[in-house]
Structure 1
Amino acid sequence: MERGVPIRAVCRAISILQEINQMGSLSMMQISKRGRIPYPTACRIVQTLMHEGLIEQEPARKFYRPTALVQSLSQGFQADSFLVEHSRRHLRALTHKIGWPVSLTVRIGTHMVVRDSTHADTSLTFERYYPGFRLPLMDCASGRVCLAHMTPEQLDRVMDWVSLVGSPSEQDLTAYVSVNTLNKIREEGYAAIGWGQHNLTPGKTSSVAVPIFRDGQFEAALTMIYFAAAMKQGEAVERHLAELKATAAAITEEINCTELPDMEFPVLN
């Protein structure tokens, strides 16, 4: 196999597991549609995941849900827990001050993944977003902030990866990520997306994101999510950007002044 070319079956299995984990439970037809794969292929992958104990069928209907075993996939990875631990009080304080929910996201592959959020702490939200919810790197405010702080080499690798394994819609979005756009985001210190399409209520919310750094490198994004009908993008930036940046700076300072705990990976028998 050519170096750098992914194994398609593995990519599909991971994608299906992520979809089921994110949505809570899905029928076989929903799995096939969301994974954009033929129904027979979806059936074989689901059977494999069930055999490995990562998903199970609900007792009362033919829906499939994750099992507790999926948590084993994150064993030994503590960096995100460290980040969440030292960010949480800052996120809560910010939401208490501005009213709007905020989220903490990190890049995993071609997605930004929610690690913590304050949607449960305010009534100014349509939905609650739990750790593990994914947003496309190319078309969310946090993803644009992440891309803006990559080196040219890192950006090229990500673009190449999207072209290999990204969905058609993700590949189309690369056209909107220009060098000039990313330079502007880096200079202004934020990215904004209006009427977001890749959340639980498409077209109803907008967002503004700012970067958090560790050792001078992009670590995560802090994002404010607000009702798109409540404020225009410029008004949201004018009202809340300074507070977002101040909170991101406080988190940056705390995680850089605190020693990251040693990793302790489990021993596999």
Structure 2
Amino acid sequence: MEKGVPIRAITRGLSVLQAVNRGGSITMMEIARTSQVPYPTACRIVQTLLHEGMIEREPARKRYRATALVQSLASGYHDDSHLVEVARPHIEALTDKLLWPISITSRVGAHMMVRDSTHTRTSLTLNNYYPGFTLPIMECSSGKAYMAFCSDAERGHLLDGLRTIEGAAEKMATLLLSNDNLLREVRNQGYATQSRNAYTANPGKTSSIAVPLFRGEEVVGAITIIFFSVAMTMEKAVAQFVAPLSATARTISAELTGTLGR
């Protein structure tokens, strides 16, 4: 096998497990659609995960959910909680001011993972996104913001990995990164946007704006505001939200940078 080429069965198995974990309670059809795995293959993978105890079928319902055993996959992983500790009071204050939910994300592989959010703090949300929820890196505003400001070496390494994955989101990411136009625009304006987010619990219902977060010269994540797509145009949202979002990002970044070396 060519070096660097992923094993498709493992890739699909992980996609199915992520779909169940993110869905909370999800049907087989939803698993296949969300994971972008053919239905017959998804069924076989689900049967394997049931056998291994990673997921379970809900009593009297044809829905599946993750079991506590999935936590074993995280043993040995040590999260840097300092970003959340620093950002939390600032995103709470920003939500109280703007009313819309705010999230803090960082990159994990080819995805942006929610580290913290204020969805439970406001009624202007369709779902509560808890730590661990992931989005394809170039299908969300936070990922675009991150990719625009990360190092060339990190961006190149990630692009090499994306080229080996067959999913629709990865193919779109490869296309968007085929030239520097999009990321140059994000760098010039200092923020990224995503209209009608496709990879959420309610596809197409929300849009978002994100600004990068830094520790020194290194980008460590992004701060994002999420709003209903029908509530306002992206132009109005940019005019209303970018300034306070950027100010909060600068404050968080300054506090993160101030702790370097401690």
Q: 1:76 & 1:172 partners in 2: Cα distance?
A: 32
Q: 2:82 & 2:193 partners in 1: Cα distance?
A: 27
Does the aligned pair in 1 maintain the 2:137–2:173 contact within 8 Å?
no
What is the Cα deviation at residue 260 of structure 1?
9.1
How has the CA–CA distance of structure 1 residues 260 and 98 changed in structure 2, closer, same or farther, with 3 Å as cutoff? farther
Q: 2:172 & 2:241 partners in 1: Cα distance?
A: 31
Q: Within the alignment, does 1:242 sit opposite 2:243 as a pair?
A: yes
1:24-51 deviation line (CA, Å, top 9, x unaligned): 1223343334333344433332233233
Q: 2:32 & 2:240 partners in 1: Cα distance?
A: 43
SS at match of 1:195: coil
Q: Within the alignment, does 1:62 sit opposite 2:62 as a pair?
A: yes
How has the CA–CA distance of structure 1 residues 47 and 200 changed in structure 2, closer, same or farther, with 3 Å as cutoff? closer
SS at match of 1:138: coil
Residue of structure 2 equivalent to 1:223:
224
What is the Cα deviation at residue 246 of structure 1?
1.6
Does the aligned pair in 1 maintain the 2:16–2:37 contact within 8 Å?
no
Residue of structure 1 equivalent to 2:45:
45
Structure 2 segments unaligned to the other structure (5+ residues)? none
Tell me the amino acid that sits aligned with residue 258 of structure 2.
Answer: C
SS at match of 1:199: coil
Give % identity.
49
Does the aligned pair in 2 maintain the 1:27–1:62 contact within 8 Å?
yes
Q: 2:32 & 2:252 partners in 1: Cα distance?
A: 40
Q: 1:181 & 1:91 partners in 2: Cα distance?
A: 27
Tell me the amino acid that sits aligned with residue 79 of structure 1.
Answer: D
How has the CA–CA distance of structure 1 residues 90 and 18 changed in structure 2, closer, same or farther, with 3 Å as cutoff? same
Does the aligned pair in 1 maintain the 2:136–2:169 contact within 8 Å?
no
What is the Cα deviation at residue 229 of structure 1?
2.8
Residue of structure 2 equivalent to 1:179:
180
Q: 2:70 & 2:229 partners in 1: Cα distance?
A: 35
Q: Within the alignment, does 1:151 sit opposite 2:151 as a pair?
A: yes
Residue of structure 1 equivalent to 2:124:
124
Aligned residue runs from structure 1 range 9-88, under 5 A: 9-88=9-88
Does the aligned pair in 2 maintain the 1:87–1:251 contact within 8 Å?
yes
Does the aligned pair in 2 maintain the 1:210–1:222 contact within 8 Å?
yes
Runs of 4+ in structure 1 over 6 Å off: none
